[in-house]
Amino acid sequence: MGRRGFATRQVHERAQAAAPTARVTPIYLTAGFEFDEYSDAAAHFGEGAGYAYTRIGNPTLEAVEHRLAALEGGSQGLLLASGQAATSVALLSLVESGQHIVSSTHIYEGTRGLFRDNLSRLGVETTFIDDIDSVDAWEAAIRPETRALFAESISNATNRLIDIAAIAAVAHRHGIPLVIDNTFATPYLVRPIEHGADVVVHSASKFLAGHGSVLGGAIVDSGRFDAERSGHLFPHLLAPGRGPGGVAGPSIADRVGGDARIAYARESVAPRFGPTPSPLNAFLIGQGIETLSLRVDRQSANALALAQWLATRPEVASVDYVGLEGHRDHALAKTYLPDGFGSVFTFTVRGGAEAARRAVEAVDVFTHMTHLGDVRSLVLHPASTSHAFLAEDERAALGVEAGTLRVSIGIEDAADLIDDLAQALSVATRVDVAVVA
Ligand X SMILES: Cc1ncc(COP(=O)(O)O)c(C=O)c1O
Residue from 25, 58, 82, 278 touching ligand X (CB under 6 A): that is 82
From residue 135 to residue 164, the character string flagging contacts with ligand X as x (rule: CB under 6 A) and all else as - is -----------------x---x--------
DSSP string, 204-216: TTTTTT-SSS---
Helix, strand, coil content of the chain in percent (nearest 5)? 40, 15, 45
Is residue 277 within 8 A of residue 68, CB to CB? The reply is no
**Of 181 and 401, which has the nearer Cβ to ligand X?**
181
Q: For ligand X, which stretch binds (CB under 6 A), given 80-88, 185-193, 219-227, 326-334?
A: 80-88
Q: For ligand X, which stretch binds (CB under 6 A), given 24-32, 108-116, 139-147, 251-259?
A: 108-116
- What's the closest the beta carbon of residue 206 comes to ligand X, in angstroms? 6
**Of 89 and 316, which has the nearer Cβ to ligand X?**
89
**Of 155 and 230, which has the nearer Cβ to ligand X?**
155
- What's the closest the beta carbon of residue 432 comes to ligand X, in angstroms? 35
Residue from 57, 74, 77, 83 touching ligand X (CB under 6 A): that is 83
Tell me: does residue 108 bind ligand X (CB under 6 A).
yes
From residue 192 to residue 231, the character string flagging contacts with ligand X as x (rule: CB under 6 A) and all else as - is -----------x-x---------x-x--------------
**Of 105 and 205, which has the nearer Cβ to ligand X?**
205
Q: For ligand X, which stretch binds (CB under 6 A), given 21-29, 81-89, 268-276, 328-336?
A: 81-89
Number of H helices, E strands in the chain: 18, 14
Backbone angles phi, psi at 380, to 5 degrees: -145, 150
Q: For ligand X, which stretch binds (CB under 6 A), given 69-77, 82-90, 95-103, 244-252?
A: 82-90
Report the residue closest to ligand X, judged by CB.
83
∠ CA 200-206-207, rounded to 5°: 80
- What's the closest the beta carbon of residue 205 comes to ligand X, in angstroms? 4
Beta strands in 283-355 (DSSP E): 316-320, 344-349
Is residue 266 within 8 A of residue 256, CB to CB? The reply is no
**Of 204 and 363, which has the nearer Cβ to ligand X?**
204
Residue from 54, 58, 75, 84 touching ligand X (CB under 6 A): that is 84
Is residue 315 within 8 A of residue 144, CB to CB? The reply is no
- What's the closest the beta carbon of residue 290 comes to ligand X, in angstroms? 20
Query: How many Å apart are CA 212 and CA 294, to the nearest integer?
Result: 16
**Of 109 and 259, which has the nearer Cβ to ligand X?**
109
Per DSSP, 413 falls in state -
- What's the closest the beta carbon of residue 182 comes to ligand X, in angstroms? 9
Secondary structure class of 162 (helix, strand, coil): coil
Q: For ligand X, which stretch binds (CB under 6 A), given 106-114, 140-148, 164-172, 388-396?
A: 106-114
CB proximity list for 189: less than 8 A, separation 6 or greater: 154, 296, 300, 337, 339, 340, 341, 342
**Residue 80: strand pairing partners:** 217
**Of 27 and 154, which has the nearer Cβ to ligand X?**
154
Residue among 344, 345, 343, 322 at smallest CA distance from 333? 322
Query: How many Å apart are CA 424 and CA 365, to the nearest integer?
Result: 10
Count of residues near ligand X by CB under 6 A: 15
Q: For ligand X, which stretch binds (CB under 6 A), given 77-85, 192-200, 320-328, 402-410?
A: 77-85
- What's the closest the beta carbon of residue 20 comes to ligand X, in angstroms? 34
Query: How many Å apart are CA 325 and CA 304, to the nearest integer?
Result: 11
Is residue 71 within 8 A of residue 202, CB to CB? The reply is no
Backbone angles phi, psi at 404, to 5 degrees: -80, 135
Is residue 112 within 8 A of residue 87, CB to CB? The reply is no
Residue among 306, 430, 307, 299 at smallest CA distance from 362? 430
- What's the closest the beta carbon of residue 275 comes to ligand X, in angstroms? 10
Tell me: does residue 276 bind ligand X (CB under 6 A).
no
Residue from 48, 73, 110, 352 touching ligand X (CB under 6 A): that is 110
Query: How many Å apart are CA 417 and CA 421, to the nearest integer?
Result: 6
Q: Which of residues 160-199 bind ligand X (CB under 6 A)?
A: 181, 183-184
Is residue 181 within 8 A of residue 132, CB to CB? The reply is no
Query: How many Å apart are CA 29 and CA 128, to the nearest integer?
Result: 41
Q: For ligand X, which stretch binds (CB under 6 A), given 105-113, 227-235, 356-364, 375-383?
A: 105-113
Contacting residues toward ligand X, per CB under 6 A: 82-84, 108, 110-111, 152, 156, 181, 183-184, 203, 205, 215, 217
